[in-house]
Amino acid sequence: MADQWKAHCLLVAYPAQGHINPMLQFCKRLEFHKVKATLVTTRSFWRTVATELPSDSNISIETISDGYDEGVEEEARKNSKIYLQRFWQVGFQSLSELIEKLSGKGCPVDCVIYDSFLHWAVDVAKKFGLVGAAFFTQTCAVNCIYFHLHQGILKLPITESKILFPGVTELEPSDLPTFLYLQYGMHPHYWDLLVDPFNNIGKADWVLSNSVYELEPEVVDWMKKMWPVRTIGPTVPSMFLDKRIPNDNDYGISMFKPSNDLCMNWLKDKPKASIVYVSFGSLASYSDEQMQELAWGLIDANSYFLWVVRESEEAKLPGNILETLSKKGLIVRWCPQLKVLAHEAVGCFITHCGWNSTLEALSLGVPMIGVPYWSDQTTNLKHIVDVWKVGLRAPVDEKGILKRETVKHCIKEVMESEKGKEMKNRAIKWMNLIKNSVDEGGSSDKNIAEFVARISQQ
């Protein structure tokens, strides 16, 4: 098979579930286009995950050091600045050694595709004379906001009531990523991840975005004037989209073990569009009061619901909730989200609006109720509600709590009202546009083909 590869790409992922999965899916797309793909992550992260890549996959997995091979220390876990500084110091050399090792084994690298959070990797690529491609896991709209912050055009603290960026819908301060407004000054170390990538973006030969051109054409066109930007998303398994990659029906890497059979068996006899699916991702953590309000809101709505509550969050649930659920609800620690969203029984998704979850819902035509937790999720929700018009914002009270009455009202509006039907119709429209984008001749498919053609000529 090796003599059939057009090129060999290293894909260097930031060590987090929401970053490694998009990279892994892009590996599969590259392999489909006859490019050898090697996924690279850290040894400390790889120790924590389970992998179930398809048996016919040719994707290689390699690890490098972040300086914490036996596990990230508590201080570095709480302060990403400490972690990133050590990763940068150790990772540069470790990635260089990996490239040399692969070359010595007769598998030379042609291109380094690096998560934008690890922007120093472009210097490793250039050290070896390789193509360097930045990979952004957030929307182009969010990247546009951070670029304006980097350039000093967006000033903090925010004082304007309305904020305009090229190609982006008009935003209010609360629509900005939380680090810039709602949590301004609380997480300064995250700026190294989100703003510093623009320090050396000009060195990248390509800027790849896990987005879809049709979702945000104006801002993509604006970004193209500065950098060689190409949208290559959504990085969702092919069997849920164009079905051109055999057996690609799961990401293959997870930090949590999903309750596959339990979830799918529970779903199978439920009426069409009757279930509210609730999940807030792998990181969000809510207060005891918020978890209890959510629980009683779901029960009071009197719809079927499937709720993902991670083991670390279970103690926050009402003590008698399992007795109260009867046959209406199911609570699991983790689930096969794509399969759940694709099931015809699911009519609504209550989500934290993480970009991966948002892309999955858009790809599968599921209306959303947004409960953002932090970071870019507030900006994603603005687009869900006001640009793509496929969901509702769940308003919180003066203490920031989403009350049970609001949960119930939002569910009723999405599941039972005329407005909810309109959302569903628009969700189907976006689903079809997104599927077309990755199918042969679609916007993302053409961008990937162009990228492959260029790196194959190096």
Cα–Cα distance for residue pair 204/114, rounded to 1 Å: 10
Cα–Cα distance for residue pair 422/413, rounded to 1 Å: 11
- Residue 66 annotated as catalytic: no
Cα–Cα distance for residue pair 81/189, rounded to 1 Å: 5
- Residue 250 annotated as catalytic: no
Find residue 208's DSSP bridge partners: 135, 230
Q: What are the Cα distances from residue 384, in Å, to 74, 240, 389?
A: 36, 20, 6
Q: Which residues neighbour 147 within 8 Å (Cβ) at sequence distance 6 or greater?
A: 198
Find residue 112's DSSP bridge partners: 10, 132
Cα–Cα distance for residue pair 205/130, rounded to 1 Å: 10
Q: Which residue shows structure tokens 């930045």?
A: 134
Active-site residue, from 8, 19, 352, 383? 19
Start-end of H helices in 4-49 = 17-32, 43-46
- The closest of 245, 216, 252 to 439, measured between CA atoms, is 245
Q: Which two tokens stand for residue 279?
A: 């999940």
The C-alpha angle 180, 185, 186, rounded to 5 degrees, equals 105
Q: Which two tokens stand for residue 17?
A: 């579930």
Q: Which two tokens stand for residue 301?
A: 């709505």
- The closest of 5, 4, 3, 1 to 36, measured between CA atoms, is 5
CA dihedral over 18, 261, 412, 294, signed as positive or negative: negative
Angle between helix axes 17-32 and 355-364 (nearest 10 degrees) is: 50
Q: Which two tokens stand for residue 410?
A: 């939002």
Cα–Cα distance for residue pair 207/220, rounded to 1 Å: 11
First to last CA, the chain: 20
Active-site residue, from 8, 66, 110, 115? 115
Cα–Cα distance for residue pair 1/12, rounded to 1 Å: 23
Residues annotated as catalytic (active site), given as ranges: 19, 115
